[in-house]
Amino acid sequence: MWWILLVLLYGLLKGGREIVKKKSLEKNTVIEVLIIYTALSFLFVLPSAPKAWGVDPVTMLFIAFKSLIIFAAWILSFKAIKQMPVSLYGIIDLSRVLFATLLGVAILKEKMSILQIAGLVLVCVGLVMCERRKNLKEEKVSARVVIYTLLSCLFNAISGVMDKILTKNVTSTQLQFWYMLFLVIYYIIFIVVTKEKVKIVSALKNYWIWILAIMFVIGDKALFIANRMPDSRVTVMTLIKQSCCIVTILAGKFIFKEKNIGYKLICACIIIAGIVVAVL
């Protein structure tokens, strides 16, 4: 199924984005990276503006709400990834699979097969093993940072369910354009209200931010197209997205030289096994 490949592409790009986020934050602040990354992403989708018109007011309000949720999720996730190992963040971020599954069943009335339930159980086992208090202490991660990550997961899960609902009424091009425009507006309002100083020139020279924007636009386009396909299901898509954890764990080992990689790989393998079982 094409939607499975598109969601897999999104998951791998998402894992890559976590690495690039970490690198970009070495040179600029969270807000600097967020505002420039968002603005660049919007510029990349700006040529599609002529095809973005024709969205009704009610749907536009829902897109604005989705953007607000992602606005909050991104601030939380960037603050979290700046303060914890990227490999650990990548696995804790998998908690969104629990939120998205519950929302998919409760709101979209999706039914789970025995294999999908078994896959979810394996994913949960991997998450519980990874999030043991002992390991968090070893990584010196505060409870506040973990809460940031979990809240980000919840907001992203809500956004994922909204994608499935919204793409019934709008095209992937319309959703991506207006969603990105609202995000830019929210960040501008945030900067004006908080009077946050943004070193625009410095951020534009940070090539990691450019890479981040390109990966984001391609990944989201793939995800929105997959959501528009009738056979795609939020519960299964959420599990496939978790392929991102392999990318972040390997990056933690070879790029950031982080600890406990072997244990994290075992957790990730259990999670990936759950994903494979779920899509059989």
> How confident is the model at residue 133, as a pLDDT?
46
Token match 């244990």: residue?
263
pTM score, two decimals? 0.79
Compute CA distances 243 → 5, 9, 94, 164, 199, whole Å. Answer: 12, 9, 9, 20, 34
User: Are 122 and 266 within 8 A, CB to CB?
Assistant: no
Please provide the DSSP assignment of 89-151 as one string.
HHHHGGGHHHHHHHHHHHTS-----HHHHHHHHHHHHHHHHHT-HHHHHHHT--HHHHHHHHH
pLDDT digits (tens), the chain, 280 positions: 788 899 889 988 988 888 898 889 889 998 899 999 999 999 999 999 999 999 999 999 999 999 999 999 989 988 888 887 766 676 676 667 778 777 888 888 887 788 878 887 887 787 677 656 445 445 566 778 888 888 998 998 899 899 989 998 999 999 999 999 999 999 999 999 998 888 999 999 999 999 999 999 999 999 999 998 888 887 778 777 777 777 777 777 777 776 677 777 787 788 778 767 876 6
Q: Write out the two tokens for 277.
A: 């079982």
> How confident is the model at residue 206, as a pLDDT?
95
Residues sharing a CB contact under 8 Å with residue 245, sequence separation 6 or more, in sequence order: 15, 90, 91, 93, 94, 268, 271, 272
Residues in the chain: 280
Integer Cα distance of 207 and 71 in angstroms: 22
Integer Cα distance of 267 and 261 in angstroms: 10
> How confident is the model at residue 61, as a pLDDT?
97
> How confident is the model at residue 208, as a pLDDT?
95
Residues sharing a CB contact under 8 Å with residue 158, sequence separation 6 or more, in sequence order: 69, 99, 103
Distance of CA 242 to the CA centre of its chain: 10
Q: Write out the two tokens for 84.
A: 């914890």
Integer Cα distance of 22 and 169 in angstroms: 36
Residues sharing a CB contact under 8 Å with residue 201, sequence separation 6 or more, in sequence order: none
The number of folded domains in the chain is: 1
> How confident is the model at residue 87, as a pLDDT?
63
CA nearest to 244, candidates 23, 96, 121, 66:
96
Give 3-state DSSP helix, strand, coil % of the chain, rounded to 5: 80, 0, 20
- Angle between helical axes of 114-130 and 234-241 (0-180°, round to 10): 40
Range of the domain at 76: 2-279
